[in-house]
Chains A and B, each alone.
Chain A
């Protein structure tokens, strides 16, 4: 009797599931997808909402429900959801080694979107298996991003700086002029990107490494052929740390709060941040805002961190992969790119430009001035090393540990990695 009842239930369930799939494929029955993001309330969240709203309006049979997840344990939640197969259909995913780490539950999107179309996205290789597009793509980037220096034009003018510095010497000279004029040259502290209480040192570290190594050598950080204790890195770090020693930064670089507000209020001339704050800065500072490439280099710097740092992926366990891919297609369509631009982010599809003048000036570094595009270094280093670096790099800037000790800790973290995670294949 129980067997018969079970069979009836099983058959009903199978029929219901099959009919649901058929009807959704035929576009007769609406499908609701879930999208998880970790953007909090920042501009990327607003942009995602705009995209979802427009998509839902134009696709009545596919509705997307956005769910905001806490940023600090977002990836742990994703992983738990993947193990239990109860997670969303679409997820915000960081590119670089992040998506490779979680690739077990990420669908290769080139099965749904032609590779030729995906190749039009800038930096798509960093979203791909072993950073090779032809091996399969896991993330469709939301936007083109920059780690960049922002500066206050009025304060530069007040200090008599007529040209943005291009190397360490010019940078130190500019900082001295600002200091002599009673202006804090650089501002550090927490309150920028929402990644914890401390300041995020990887914007600076990216530019220090750009100043020391060409892009083709960057794989050496991953496979260990460039140790973190190499003299070149030590030298770059010591110059960076000297910014604090010489009084070119605020005195309390670790616990100063609300640094974004302070920069907007003109309490310092320069601030390291990313494009996600451009719109906020422009709103507060207007034409007074400028973007510059942090010149952490002995020679005039010729590289810029322009990188599609995050985007959306489809989960392998989603029952609606095709419908989820429709959203990704929509995002990289002309309509989607316009929505992204209108929200204040930089569209990632080649050929789509930005209407924002500050963002435009950043795009010009690579597009018109021949700068090399580099990835965000924290996206292409092993997470364990990045976590240690987040603890020790700012401590080094604050003079709480030596440069050598800080870099040795990063090297120790690297040495503790399993051999297959520091080989020639990105994992």
Chain B
């Protein structure tokens, strides 16, 4: 009997490995192997055909590049936009969760931008923000022409319209995620709180937000990843990274160096830096989750 149990456990173990193996092989070939290759290439000067090992000088080279620090600053600015891209949808989700009249229609409308490609979003945003665009025409027509702005043409402020567009694009998916999270909270908890005399704000702050914590963390994580790794098309269409590198992010910089200039070694080094940055941020996220579970 005991032998049969052990045998059955062993068979299940082997079956588990067998079923998981294809995925592990795919994962290894398509994700881990390219990452290892990128790390190796990051220590080289590689133009796609010829490669020479330059070791840590590769990293010293990017540290000495003034453009790299400007690019990191732009990433830092996008990082600041991430909380806005989560908390604005959270407010919208609160309203929709109150089942205001027409909430189903609003939910669909708010989610629509998420179905549009970054290129289209970028083109629309460009027409909105440019000097002779919709925003300035609107200001002019309401008598506020004096505050005419052309932020996209400003090296210091062009990142602002890019960040605003990014926040807008994240409203749909994040609203949906948080609305789903709110649906998991039992109405009885709200009922009990109301009986105890809790007001609207107390209910949100003391009940909804803590119970939404996992969903908020999820939204923050995917929004952060999007901010750092998914804005290439948006930036390409809106500004091409300019003016004067004012909107070049690390992701865009990798493209410029690797694919425009054929400096695949330099691009790999930047890619590893981006990976490390993402790992650090993810580690912080995981720490939050562990704290929550503890």
Contact = CB atoms under 8 A, between A and B. Distances in A.
Contacts of A418: 45
A395 B243 CA distance: 5
The B interface is mostly helix, strand or loop, or mixed, namely loop
A42 to B, nearest CB: 19
Contacts of A197: 126, 236-240, 242
Contacts of B221: none
Interface in A293-348: none
B259 A76 contact: yes
A255 interface: yes
B244 A391 contact: yes
Interface in B25-72: 45, 47-50, 61, 64-67
Contacts of B113: none
A257 B261 contact: no
B181 interface: no
B273 interface: no
B211 interface: no
A50 to B, nearest CB: 31
A416 B65 contact: yes
A251 interface: yes
A392 B155 CA distance: 10
A196 B240 contact: yes
A418 B45 CA distance: 10
A384 to B, nearest CB: 5
A73 B259 contact: yes
B155 A401 contact: yes
Contact of A409 (B50, B64, B67, B261): B67
Contact of B256 (A80, A387, A400): A387
A394 B156 CA distance: 15
A105 B50 CA distance: 12
- Most interface-central of A75, A252, A388 (chain B CB within 10 A): A252
A251 B61 contact: no
A83 B131 contact: no
Contacts of A76: 48, 258-260, 262
Interface string B239-265: 111111110100000001011111100
A82 B49 contact: yes
A338 B240 CA distance: 38
B262 A79 contact: yes
A274 interface: no
A54 interface: no
A383 B130 contact: no
Nearest to B50: A104
Interface in B147-164: 150, 152-156
A381 B126 CA distance: 31
Contacts of A75: 262
A56 interface: no
Contact of B242 (A82, A257, A383, A391): A391
Interface string A220-253: 0000000000000000000000000000000111
B243 A257 contact: no
B90 to A, nearest CB: 33
A400 B262 contact: no
A412 B67 CA distance: 10
23 contacts: A73-B259, A82-B49, A83-B48, A104-B50, A196-B236, A197-B238, A252-B153, A253-B153, A255-B150, A383-B261, A383-B262, A384-B263, A388-B67, A391-B243, A392-B244, A395-B243, A398-B153, A398-B243, A400-B156, A406-B244, A412-B66, A416-B61, A416-B65
Given A196-B236, A395-B246, 8 more contacts: A76-B48, A255-B153, A256-B132, A387-B261, A388-B67, A400-B243, A400-B244, A412-B66
The 5 closest A-B pairs by CB, nearest first: A395-B244, A252-B131, A196-B240, A395-B243, A197-B240
